[in-house]
Structures are given as structure tokens and as C-alpha cells.
Amino acid sequence: METRLLLTDDDSLRYAAGLLKEGKVVGIPTETVYGLGANALDVDAVGDIFKAKGRPQDNPLIVHISDISELEALVEDIPPLARKCAESFWPGPLTMIFKKKPIIPDTTSGGLDTVGIRMPSNKYARQIIKFAGVPIAAPSANLSGSPSPTTAMHVFKDMNGRIPAIVDGGMSAVDVESTVISFEGDSIRILRPGFISKEDLAEITDNVVIDKGVLEQLSPDTVVRSPGMKYRHYSPSADVTIIDADAEHFRGYVKEHGDSDTVCLVFNDSDCDETGLRYINYGSDSKQQAQRLFDALRELDEIGAKTAYARCPEKTGVGLAVYNRLLRAAGFQVIKL
């Protein structure tokens, strides 16, 4: 199969929507990362997403809508807290978990009786969904286990020959995946941190909890609330270790342990001064780090790093999302100095 790159004029978006209506899988831009979209209500189409990605069948997909009016047909009930979150954060990088209506196939929800719904802010994504006239299931458009794609070329690299088309909407703006939350009584539980932070959600209710799976490695037999958390993710070939230390202690550590196959992931060019080591600067604040992390992880592979030492991100705001992704890339190896 030849994979076509499509532009974002109306005709191209209609063409992409037509493919989706026919049950095909299409790479689509969103403000977070590129998604691998298919008709969420079509079991065969959704099955093809799992095949193209090599994704485990029990890992549920997020269903994307173009307008809040599409929500009620898909979910059993909408808690008042969810309405408030939708008002504040939709369209945008927030996925909310609801009890699903039977119209959502079990294949889409990974066998769960719940479904994650998100209304993206990317205008091309919403236009495609509107033209298709069906909700669109879309995981990140990478092969399972690789970093999430933030450009159409990243998608092409992983999906060439596996899907008929990719819509090239330019670079993603946010570059970490959406925040995933569920509701329990009057509390919000963060299952996956993202651009919408704990602090943002605290504006809606005082009662925001971070699920254990966000910061800890769960043992294989744990019943997890968000199945995505139990799989190995975002793993470059290099053996990555997070160094939780200030610049001076970081420098001291990598000077002692690094060699010519080592690459450091740093906040500032000066972090590796006088160590003689190669480094990738992934930004000095959390927003930049969120934008650059996946690229930095891909670059580690491109330049053939064998070991990597990463400076530890902040654990607040968007930083929590960066830390959560980096922890998985590092297989939870953290050295605190």
C-alpha cells in the first residue's frame, strides 16, 4: 500500500474524511501529537488501527469528537464535574473517561465498559471529524513502544505502507499527549498527566488526585485504571537514566560515569561544560521540554547513543507530564543526588 501525504485544504480534508467513512485508517494532526484515526463505531476499522500500530488489544483508544453536542450519543451519563471541565478545557488536550453506551464497540474501549473522549483544538482534526460525520478513535500514530509523532514525517517513518494517507498539518503545538482523567464522586483522578495540569484542574475542584500509575512502575499483575500505563513506552535504544540533581552535581556525575557513547539530555548548554560529553538541549522550562522531549528521544537513536543521562524535569505543572514520559523512557531508573 502506498501512503499518501495530504494537505490541509478543504478538498484534502474531505478526501481524508471520505477514507475514514469507508473504514480506512488515516494519520491526522492534533494539537498534542499525530493520531492514527478510524471510525470509532466500526469494529473492523478500529481493528486495523491495532494492526497498524502493533498495539495490545486491551489498550483502549481515545474517541475524538468535533463538538460537545456529539458527546451524549456516546456516553451513559455526564457528571457535573465533567461538564465544568469541558467548559474550561474543550476544545483542547483533555481526555475524560465516561461510562460508554453500547454504540461504542468493545474493540474501541479495549474491553472496558468506559470510554475516553476528547475534543481536540486542532482545527484540521475537528474539520476532518465533522466531514466524516462519525467519532474518530485515534491513538498516537507511532508504532507501539516508540515515541509519539509530532510531525507528519514522524508518522510517515512509522506508518509508510501500513495506512493509505496522512494529513500533514505541520508541527504539533503541545507535543505531549492529552491529560487523561476520570471522575469518582466529587473528585478528579489524573490517569495520565498532560498539558492540562493538576494545577489547572484544581481550579475546578480541590479534590484532584494523581493515580499511582503515573509515577510508579506497576507490577504486571496490578489491575490498572489506565491500561496504557502498564506498557513500556517511548523507549529509545539507549539506556536512559534520570539524574535528579542540580547542574553542578549533574555535571559531576556524568563526568565520572559518561563516555564517548553517552549523550546527556540537558536544560542548558552549560550543563555539560568541561565534561567533553555530547548533549541534547531539551529546554530550560517545562513547556519547552514538553515540546522537545519526544524529538530528543528520537535524536538519541539517530546519533546512536548507548547510554543517556537526563536532567530531571520539574514535577509540577506541565513538568509532571514531561517527568511521566521520561520515567517510562528511562524504565523508571532515577538517581537522586
Binding site for ligand TXA (CB under 6 A): 30, 32-33, 35, 59-62, 93, 95, 97, 109, 112, 114-116, 118, 138-140, 177-178, 180, 191-192, 225-228
Burial class (CB in 10 A: 0-12, 13-18, 19+), 147: buried
Interior angle at CA 181, CA 319 and CA 208, nearest 5: 70
- To ligand TXA, the closest distance from the beta carbon of 154 in angstroms equals 13
Of 100 and 192, the one with the shorter C-beta distance to Mg ion is: 192
Contact mark string toward Mg ion, 97..136, x via CB under 5 A = ----------------------------------------
Residues 35/118, Cβ–Cβ less than 8 Å: no
Residue 32 interacts with Mg ion (CB under 5 A): yes or no: no
- DSSP code for 275: T
Task: Name the binder of 134 from Mg ion, ligand TXA, none, CB < 5-8 A by kind.
Answer: none
Residues 187/208, Cβ–Cβ less than 8 Å: yes
Among 66, 121, 140, 172, binds Mg ion (CB under 5 A): 140
Task: Name the binder of 180 from ligand TXA, Mg ion, none, CB < 5-8 A by kind.
Answer: ligand TXA
What does 4-64 look like in DSSP terms, one character per residue?
EEE-SSHHHHHHHHHHHHTT--EEE--SSS-EEEEETT-HHHHHHHHHHHT--TTSPPEEE
Of 92 and 194, the one with the shorter C-beta distance to Mg ion is: 194
The Cα 92–Cα 200 span in angstroms is 13
Of 243 and 326, the one with the shorter C-beta distance to ligand TXA is: 326
Instruction: Select from 139-147, 219-227, 260-268, 290-298 the region that touches Mg ion (CB under 5 A).
Output: 139-147
| 14 backbone φψ class: left, alpha, beta (φ>0; ψ -120 to 50) | alpha
- To ligand TXA, the closest distance from the beta carbon of 280 in angstroms equals 23
Cα 178 from chain centroid (whole Å): 6
Task: Name the binder of 283 from ligand TXA, Mg ion, none, CB < 5-8 A by kind.
Answer: none
Task: Name the binder of 119 from Mg ion, ligand TXA, none, CB < 5-8 A by kind.
Answer: none
Closest CB to ligand TXA: residue number? 228
- To Mg ion, the closest distance from the beta carbon of 231 in angstroms equals 9
Instruction: Reduce the DSSP state of residue 230 to 3 states and report it.
Output: helix
The Cα 257–Cα 305 span in angstroms is 14
Of 91 and 116, the one with the shorter C-beta distance to ligand TXA is: 116
- List of residues 6+ apart from 89 with CB closer than 8 A: 196, 200
Tell me which residues touch Mg ion (CB under 5 A): 140
